[in-house]
Structure 1
Amino acid sequence: MRFYVNVFVAALLWATTAQAQPDRWQQQISYNMDVRLNVQTNILQGKQQIQYTNNSPDTLHEIYFHLYWNAFQPNSSMDVRSRELGTKVVGRNRDGSDRLDWDGRVKDRISQLKPNEIGYCRIQSITLNGVTLKGKEYETIIKFDLPKPILPKQTVSIQTQFEAQVPVQIRRSGRDNAEGVRYSMSQWYPKVVEYDYTGWTPNPYIAREFYGVWGDYDVNITLDKSYKIGASGVLQNAAAIGWGYDKPGTPLKDIAGETRSWRFTAKKVHDFVWAADPGYQHITRKPDNGPLLHFIFKSDKADDANWVSTANECARAYPFMKDLFGAYPWPEYSFIQGGDGGMEYAMATLIKTASLGTAIHEWMHSWYQHLMGTNESLYAWMDEGFTSYGESVVTQYLKGGTGFALADEYRGYIALAKGKFEEPMSTHADHFATNYAYSTAAYSKGAVFLGQLGYVIGDSLLKKTLHAYYDAWKFKHPNPNDFVRVAEKVSGMELDWYKEYMLYTTKTIDYAIDSLWMEDNYTLVRIKRLGEMPMPVDVTLTFKDSTTEQHYVPLNLTYGEKPAESTAPRVVYPAQRWTHREMIIRTNRRINEIISVEIDASQRLADIERKNNKLELKW
Structure 2
Amino acid sequence: MKKYLLLLLGAGYGLALQAQPERWQQKVKYTIDANLDVNTNIVNGKEKITYWNNAPDTLNRLFIHLYWNAFQPGSMMDVRSRELGKIILGKNRKGEAVQDWDPRVRDRISKLSSSQIGYQHVKSLRIDGVEQKLIPHETILEVDLKKPILPHTSTDLAIEFEAQVPEQIRRSGRDNVEGVRYSMSQWYPKIVEYDYQGWNANPYIAREFYGVWGSYDVNITLDKNYLVAATGTVQNPDEVGFGYGKSEGVPQKAGDKTTWHFKADSVHDFVWAADNQYKLIKRQIEDGPLFYFVYKRKSADDDTKWNLLADSVAYVYPYIARTFGAYPYHNYSFIQGGDGGMEYPMATLIKGPSLGTALHEFGHNWYQGILGSNESLYPWMDEGGATYFQTRIFGWLHHDSTWYKASYRSYYYLAKSGLEEPMSTHADHYNTNFAYGAAAYGKGAVFYDQLAYIIGKKNMDAFLLRYFNTWGFKHPNANDMIRVAEKVSGLELEWYKNYWVYSTKTIDYAIDKVSSVQNHGVVELVRKGDMPMPLDVLVTYKDGKQEMYNIPLGMMYGHKPADNNYYPWIFAPEWRWTSPTYQLELSRPNTDIKSIEIDPHGLMADVDRLNNTLN
The 3-state SS of whatever aligns with 2:369 is: coil
Which residue in the other structure is 1:7 paired with? none
Which residue in the other structure is 2:4 paired with? none
In 2, Cα distance between equivalents of 1:588 and 1:148: 75
**Deviation of the 1:300 alpha carbon:** 2.4
Question: 1:422-441 counterparts in 2 under 5 A?
Answer: 422-441=420-439
In 2, Cα distance between equivalents of 1:91 and 1:236: 53
Which residue in the other structure is 1:393 paired with? 392
Question: 1:110-149 counterparts in 2 under 5 A?
Answer: 110-149=109-148
The root-mean-square deviation of aligned C-alpha atoms, in Å, is 1.2
Q: Are residue 368 (structure 1) and residue 367 (structure 2) matched? A: yes
Which residue in the other structure is 1:55 paired with? 54
In 2, Cα distance between equivalents of 1:541 and 1:95: 45
In 1, Cα distance between equivalents of 2:242 and 2:407: 40
Q: Are residue 320 (structure 1) and residue 319 (structure 2) matched? A: yes
Which residue in the other structure is 1:456 paired with? 454
In 1, Cα distance between equivalents of 2:118 and 2:268: 22
Which residue in the other structure is 1:4 paired with? none
Question: 1:586-601 counterparts in 2 under 5 A?
Answer: 586-601=585-600
**Deviation of the 1:19 alpha carbon:** 5.2
Which residue in the other structure is 1:406 paired with? 404
Q: 427-436 vs 251-260, which deviates more?
A: 251-260
Q: Are residue 156 (structure 1) and residue 183 (structure 2) matched? A: no
Q: What amino acid maps onto 1:505 in structure 2? A: S
The 3-state SS of whatever aligns with 1:403 is: coil
In 2, Cα distance between equivalents of 1:287 and 1:547: 46
In 2, Cα distance between equivalents of 1:287 and 1:595: 51
Which residue in the other structure is 1:167 paired with? 166
Q: What amino acid maps onto 1:227 in structure 2? A: Y
**Deviation of the 1:298 alpha carbon:** 0.4
Q: What amino acid maps onto 1:59 in structure 2? A: T
In 1, Cα distance between equivalents of 2:534 and 2:372: 32
Q: Deviations over 1:226-285 (max 9, x none)?
A: 1111111000000112211114x8333222111111111111100000000000010001
In 2, Cα distance between equivalents of 1:309 and 1:593: 53
Q: What amino acid maps onto 1:424 in structure 2? A: P
The answer (yes or no) to whether the contact 2:510–2:526 under 8 Å persists in 1 is yes
In 2, Cα distance between equivalents of 1:252 and 1:285: 21
Which residue in the other structure is 1:415 paired with? 413
Which residue in the other structure is 1:383 paired with? 382
Which residue in the other structure is 2:277 paired with? 279
Q: Deviations over 1:63-106 (max 9, x none)?
A: 01000000000010000000111111113222221111100000
Which residue in the other structure is 1:306 paired with? 305
Question: 1:53-92 counterparts in 2 under 5 A?
Answer: 53-92=52-91
Q: What amino acid maps onto 1:544 in structure 2? A: K
Q: What amino acid maps onto 1:408 in structure 2? A: A
In 1, Cα distance between equivalents of 2:602 and 2:110: 45
Which residue in the other structure is 2:201 paired with? 202
The 3-state SS of whatever aligns with 2:596 is: strand
**The one of 495, 508, 518 aligned to 1:510:** 508
Which residue in the other structure is 2:480 paired with? 482
The answer (yes or no) to whether the contact 1:287–1:316 under 8 Å persists in 2 is no
In 1, Cα distance between equivalents of 2:542 and 2:234: 65
Q: What amino acid maps onto 2:514 in structure 1? A: L
The answer (yes or no) to whether the contact 1:465–1:490 under 8 Å persists in 2 is yes
Q: What amino acid maps onto 2:214 in structure 1? A: G
Q: Are residue 342 (structure 1) and residue 341 (structure 2) matched? A: yes
TM-score normalised by structure 2 residue count: 0.96
Which residue in the other structure is 1:221 paired with? 220
**Deviation of the 1:596 alpha carbon:** 1.8
**Deviation of the 1:574 alpha carbon:** 1.4
In 2, Cα distance between equivalents of 1:582 and 1:120: 61
In 2, Cα distance between equivalents of 1:537 and 1:396: 24
Q: Are residue 466 (structure 1) and residue 464 (structure 2) matched? A: yes
The 3-state SS of whatever aligns with 2:395 is: helix
TM-score normalised by structure 1 residue count: 0.95
Which residue in the other structure is 2:580 paired with? 581
Aligned pairs, how many? 597
**Deviation of the 1:602 alpha carbon:** 1.7
The 3-state SS of whatever aligns with 2:309 is: helix
Q: What amino acid maps onto 2:523 in structure 1? A: V
Which residue in the other structure is 1:8 paired with? none
The 3-state SS of whatever aligns with 2:266 is: strand
The 3-state SS of whatever aligns with 2:68 is: helix
Q: What amino acid maps onto 1:304 in structure 2? A: D
Q: Are residue 95 (structure 1) and residue 125 (structure 2) matched? A: no
Q: Deviations over 1:354-410 (max 9, x none)?
A: 110000000000000010111111000001001100110012222x23222210000
The answer (yes or no) to whether the contact 1:288–1:319 under 8 Å persists in 2 is no
Change (3 A) 1:19 1:190: closer
Q: What amino acid maps onto 1:473 in structure 2? A: W
In 2, Cα distance between equivalents of 1:29 and 1:327: 25
The 3-state SS of whatever aligns with 2:555 is: helix
Which residue in the other structure is 1:11 paired with? none
Q: Deviations over 1:498-541 (max 9, x none)?
A: 11101111000000011112332112211100000001111001
The answer (yes or no) to whether the contact 2:380–2:441 under 8 Å persists in 1 is yes
In 1, Cα distance between equivalents of 2:544 and 2:322: 34
In 1, Cα distance between equivalents of 2:585 and 2:308: 52
The 3-state SS of whatever aligns with 1:49 is: strand
Q: What amino acid maps onto 2:439 in structure 1? A: A
The 3-state SS of whatever aligns with 1:30 is: strand
Name stretches of at least 5 consecutive residues in structure 1 with no aligned partner.
Answer: 1-17
Which residue in the other structure is 2:263 paired with? 265
The answer (yes or no) to whether the contact 2:86–2:99 under 8 Å persists in 1 is yes
Q: Deviations over 1:420-454 (max 9, x none)?
A: 10000000110000000001110111111111111
The answer (yes or no) to whether the contact 1:29–1:214 under 8 Å persists in 2 is yes
**Deviation of the 1:339 alpha carbon:** 1.8
Which residue in the other structure is 2:356 paired with? 357
